[in-house]
């Protein structure tokens, strides 16, 4: 959504719409629910995947070993966020934001249908379904984040707080999904749990079509702007043909791998994918830094984005232990009897969204209060705070893992995981919504979708690294778990210190460059 043509005197209707949802623009509410149900669909399968793949064939699973299942999950989650890069490019240069979101939603829904039907039609359909969810999410994720960012003009102190509220929608969906699919997991009704996600995606599609789309158009009219996000881009020709060829080739490749015709080592693929993605991100930014079309201010903005992406990668490599090592740790080494009731191990996945729902409004209000007084930390400082909190969470898990190693066969208290997840959640609130907000705020003009996609590559690399660690929770590798957690603590703390060291000088350079640009524009 473009804001350059904003009328100088907003109408009374706009004033009401601009504060229509908890002091934020009214369209944020319908985007909130669109994202909530899309995330419900994702988080309904996220905690099931590893447990389903390691379950025996007689129990309805695939009977994979821990390392293989964790690697496959890492490839799925990593490529899901990696797909945001081409998805953002297609939205910026071909489909437009609205059409990309619409078709992404439909493809995700088809993915859930394939996974549910794979109970009757075989393993190939299961992996085709995962691929559809990856491709659809690549289109969906960047577009809805760009739309949220477009609700706030440059310099609006509500932006970070707005993204924090938007983030609550993600976690309501995650909370409800974990509670529901936990019951199906206990009964080994795997494919019913997978199918539930398709219902959530259908609801998301309907909310966007009949609420969010209408509210965004009304807001744009009241604001007196052109809603550029709904327009397709005809700059490139024949993109659709190439997309179709790519999709057909991808389906053929999946069938060859799933049927065993083509050999496939998930652990090796996950490892090399991490190197390839990291190399691509570095090369992209290196190219943009020397590109003549960007001025000094834009390149400084890209530098900040690059630093934030590095920090985000390390954070998510720790945070995304939840569906892998944390999930297996809860299932195998945690006492699940709570007040005489045996809880499903998947329910630990609901603690993170519960904590976010409780704490996100407080954090949102805190950023607004600090911003109104000129005391709000900058993005890199918030990132550093988030990483230090995550380091503390893994410090807790070091002691939990040592307790298991010291007394084999012992089930540790659920308070270890609970405490760790609380600290990780606080770190997430300081980092993730701020990162989304920063990408929409810092991205050079015309690059919002691409920059949002690049930020999601940090999620991709984090998931791949987390998948590697997730294979170290079986009985024969548990001895090494405390050292692995200790290594992650060290990396998080060192990176946080480096971000704090460069936060002030980089911010000062950006402010100086923007001031010079304004002077030049005024004189030009």
Residue 138 confidence (pLDDT): 87
CA distances, 17 to each of 22, 313, 393 (Å): 11, 36, 40
Residue-averaged pLDDT of the chain: 80
Residue 156 confidence (pLDDT): 81
pLDDT at 19 over 70: yes
pLDDT tens across 158-181, in order? Answer: 887 788 788 788 888 988 888 888
pLDDT tens across 84-120, in order? Answer: 778 878 887 788 788 888 889 999 989 988 888 887 7
Enter the pTM of the model.
0.72
Cα 468 from Cα 461, distance rounded (Å): 11
Backbone angles phi, psi at 520, to 5 degrees: -65, -40
pLDDT tens across 222-267, in order? Answer: 776 665 555 566 666 678 788 888 888 887 887 788 777 888 888 7
CB within 8 Å of 500: residues ≥ 6 apart: 380, 381, 384
Under 8 Å between Cβ of 215 and 30: yes
Residue 236 confidence (pLDDT): 66
Three-state DSSP class for 24? Answer: strand
Least confident of 276-285, 364-373, 495-504: 364-373
Taking every pair of C-alpha atoms in the chain, what is the biggest distance, in angstroms?
76
Q: How many helices (H) and strands (E) does the chain have?
A: 18, 2
Cα 134 from Cα 331, distance rounded (Å): 27
Least confident of 42-46, 200-204, 295-299, 505-509: 505-509
pLDDT tens across 392-415, in order? Answer: 998 998 998 888 888 877 888 888
pLDDT at 465 over 80: no
* Paired strand residues for 24: 21
CB within 8 Å of 93: residues ≥ 6 apart: 233, 235, 236, 239
CATH superfamily membership of 20-523 = MFS general substrate transporter like domains (1.20.1250.20)
pLDDT tens across 322-375, in order? Answer: 766 777 788 888 888 878 788 887 788 788 888 888 887 788 788 778 877 878
Residue 33 confidence (pLDDT): 92
Helix axes 159-186, 190-207, angle to 10 degrees: 150
Domain parsing of the chain, residue ranges: 20-523
Residue 2 confidence (pLDDT): 44
Nearest-CA neighbor of 140 among 218, 42, 44?
A: 42
**Higher pLDDT pick, 246 / 446:** 246
pLDDT tens across 142-162, in order? Answer: 788 878 888 887 778 788 778
Helix axes 159-186, 414-442, angle to 10 degrees: 140
Residue 475 confidence (pLDDT): 47
Residue 13 confidence (pLDDT): 65
Least confident of 72-81, 299-308, 325-334, 512-521: 512-521
Please name the helix (run of DSSP H) or strand (run of DSSP E) that holds residue 337, with its range, or none.
strand 337-338
Tokens 């070993």 belong to 65
Contacts 24+ apart (CB under 8 A), 423-426: 423/389, 423/390, 423/392, 423/393, 423/396, 424/318, 424/319, 424/322, 424/352, 424/389, 424/390, 424/393, 425/351, 425/352, 425/355, 425/356, 425/359, 426/355, 426/359, 426/386, 426/389
pLDDT at 388 over 90: yes
Tokens 């899309």 belong to 38
Residue 232 confidence (pLDDT): 60
Under 8 Å between Cβ of 138 and 86: yes
DSSP string, 371-432: HHTT----HHHHHHHHHHHHHHHHHHHHHHHHHHHHSTTPPBPHHHHHHHHHHHHHHHHHHH
Give the residue-averaged pLDDT of 122-142.
Answer: 86
Cα 102 from Cα 205, distance rounded (Å): 7
pLDDT tens across 289-304, in order? Answer: 887 777 777 788 888 8
Please name the helix (run of DSSP H) or strand (run of DSSP E) that holds residue 520, with its range, or none.
helix 481-523
């Amino acid at each position: 959504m473009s804001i350059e043509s904003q009328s100088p005197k907003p109408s009374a209707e706009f004033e009401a719409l601009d504060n229509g949802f908890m002091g934020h623009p009214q369209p944020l509410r319908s985007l909130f629910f669109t994202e909530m149900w899309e995330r419900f669909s994702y988080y309904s399968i996220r905690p099931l995947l590893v447990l389903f793949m390691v379950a025996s064939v007689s129990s309805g699973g695939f009977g994979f070993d821990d390392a293989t299942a964790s690697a496959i999950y890492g490839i799925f989650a990593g490529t899901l966020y990696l797909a945001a890069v081409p998805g953002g490019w297609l939205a910026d240069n071909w489909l437009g934001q609205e059409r990309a979101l619409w078709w992404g939603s439909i493809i995700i829904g088809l993915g859930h249908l394939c996974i549910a039907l794979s109970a009757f039609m075989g393993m190939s359909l299961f992996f085709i379904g995962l691929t559809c969810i990856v491709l659809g999410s690549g289109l969906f994720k960047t577009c809805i984040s760009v739309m949220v960012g477009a609700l706030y003009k440059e310099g609006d102190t509500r932006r970070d707080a707005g993204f924090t509220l938007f983030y609550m929608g993600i976690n309501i969906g995650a909370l409800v999904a974990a509670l529901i699919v936990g019951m199906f997991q206990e009964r080994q009704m795997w494919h019913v749990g997978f199918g539930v996600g398709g219902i959530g995606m259908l609801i998301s599609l309907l909310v966007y079509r009949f609420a969010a789309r209408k509210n965004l158009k009304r807001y744009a009219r009241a604001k007196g702007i052109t809603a550029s996000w709904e327009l397709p881009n005809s700059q490139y020709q024949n993109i659709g043909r190439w997309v179709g060829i790519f999709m057909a080739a991808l389906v053929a490749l999946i069938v060859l791998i799933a049927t065993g015709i083509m050999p496939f080592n998930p652990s090796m693929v996950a490892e090399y994918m991490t190197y390839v993605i990291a190399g691509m991100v570095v090369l992209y930014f290196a190219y943009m830094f020397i590109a003549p079309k960007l001025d000094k201010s834009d390149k400084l903005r890209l530098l900040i984005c690059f630093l934030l992406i590095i920090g985000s990668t390390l954070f998510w490599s720790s945070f995304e232990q939840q569906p892998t090592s944390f999930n297996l740790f809860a299932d195998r080494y945690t006492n699940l009897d709570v007040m005489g009731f045996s809880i499903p191990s998947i329910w630990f996945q609901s603690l993170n969204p519960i904590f976010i729902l409780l704490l996100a409004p407080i954090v949102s209000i805190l950023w607004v209060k600090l911003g109104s007084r000129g005391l709000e930390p900058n993005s890199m400082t918030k990132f550093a705070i988030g990483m230090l909190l995550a380091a503390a969470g893994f410090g807790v898990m070091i002691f939990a893992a040592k307790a298991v190693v010291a007394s084999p066969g012992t089930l540790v208290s659920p308070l270890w995981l609970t405490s760790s997840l609380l600290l990780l959640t606080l770190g997430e609130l300081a980092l993730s919504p701020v990162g989304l907000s920063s990408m929409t705020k810092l991205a050079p003009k015309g690059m919002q979708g691409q920059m949002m996609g690049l930020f999601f590559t940090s999620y991709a690399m984090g998931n791949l690294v987390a998948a590697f660690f997730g294979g170290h929770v079986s009985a024969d590798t548990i001895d090494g778990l405390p050292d692995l957690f200790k290594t992650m603590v060290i990396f998080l703390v060192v990176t946080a210190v480096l971000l704090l060291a460069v936060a002030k000088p980089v911010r000062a350079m950006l402010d100086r460059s923007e001031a010079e640009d304004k002077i030049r524009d005024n004189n030009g």
